Chain A
Amino acid sequence: QVRLVESGGGVVQPGRSLRLSCAASGFTFSSYGMHWVRQAPGKGLEWVAMVSYDGSEKYYADSVKGRFTTSRDNSKNTLYLQMNSLRPEDTAVYYCAKEVNWKSYHFDSWGQGILVTVSS
């Protein structure tokens, strides 16, 4: 079965960097676009970033553009989110999510989520 496991979260000071990873298994990782979605404490869902199946296309929410970079290593079945210049408003649970099928941009599998807290 599909499994997505995020790691790399924690507490970080404003202005610092953090890299999240998402280890995938149970499906052909290299065939699916992958996304990051976040949820601030007690709030709704916010889409963050997307990388296509081969890494050639990437899209970002305006709130993170220029600060966050997503990438993937298909040889390791792993998705990444490099987060730079972190702000308190980036505090959230970050989920990685798999597309239903090619360029579907709906998400049929999600990780358990990882908490990122930006605080001094």
Chain B
Amino acid sequence: EIVLTQSPATLSLSPGERATLSCRASQTITRYLAWYQQKPGQAPRLLIYDASNRATGIPVRFSGSGSGTDFTLSISSLEPEDFAVYYCQQRSNWPLTFGGGTKVEIK
């Protein structure tokens, strides 16, 4: 099973600041990684798929990069609605797996 390790666990930032979230895979997953945002009481929302493709309707301030085992989700300038938990997910091997999540909180 591929283990995805997200860091940091919590990121404390102010609106307008840049957020950089990391996801590291236990083995290479080429570019088969997605990022999701989840707010309390809501279902996850797809932000990025296959490492760098923005999903439909996702603002350009969200971007993804990386390949192999190291991936990054960047939010260029945090908006109030961006404070949430973010998960990465790999589709390279069965079983599909998620990272443990990074909470982006208001500083």
Q: Which residues of A contact B (CB under 8 A)?
A: 35, 37, 44-47, 50, 59-62, 95, 100, 104-108, 110-113
- Give the distance in Å from the alpha carbon of A37 to the alpha carbon of B91 in the complex: 14
Contact A110 B96 (CB under 8 A): no
Per the CB 8 Å criterion, the residue count for chain B at the interface is: 24
- Asked if B49 CB lies within 8 Å of chain A CBs, one says yes
- Asked if B60 CB lies within 8 Å of chain A CBs, one says no
Contact B87 A108 (CB under 8 A): no
Q: Which residues of B contact A (CB under 8 A)?
A: 1, 32, 34, 36, 38, 43-46, 49-50, 55-56, 87, 89, 91, 94-101
B35 and chain A: residue at smallest CB distance: A106
- What's the count of A-B pairs with C-beta under 8 Å? 59
Contact A104 B97 (CB under 8 A): no
CB within 8 A of A44: which of B1, B96, B100? B100
- Give the distance in Å from the alpha carbon of A100 to the alpha carbon of B43 in the complex: 16
Contact A100 B98 (CB under 8 A): no
List 13 A-B residue pairs with CB atoms under 8 Å apart, sorted by A's residue number: A37-B44, A44-B100, A45-B38, A47-B89, A47-B96, A59-B94, A100-B49, A104-B50, A104-B91, A105-B91, A106-B34, A107-B89, A110-B45
- Give the distance in Å from the alpha carbon of A10 to the alpha carbon of B101 in the complex: 27
The 7 closest A-B CB pairs, nearest first, are: A105-B91, A110-B43, A106-B34, A47-B96, A106-B49, A45-B98, A108-B46
Q: From residue B54, how far is it (CB to closest CB) to chain A in Å?
A: 11
Interface of A is mostly: strand
Taking CB atoms, residues of chain A closer than 8 Å to B38 are: 45
Beyond A47-B96, A61-B95, whether A107 also contacts B87 by CB under 8 A is no
- Give the distance in Å from the alpha carbon of A38 to the alpha carbon of B14 in the complex: 31
Q: From residue A105, how far is it (CB to closest CB) to chain B in Å?
A: 4
Contact B95 A111 (CB under 8 A): no
Q: From residue A50, how far is it (CB to closest CB) to chain B in Å?
A: 7
CB within 8 A of A100: which of B46, B87, B97, B99? B46
Contact B43 A111 (CB under 8 A): yes
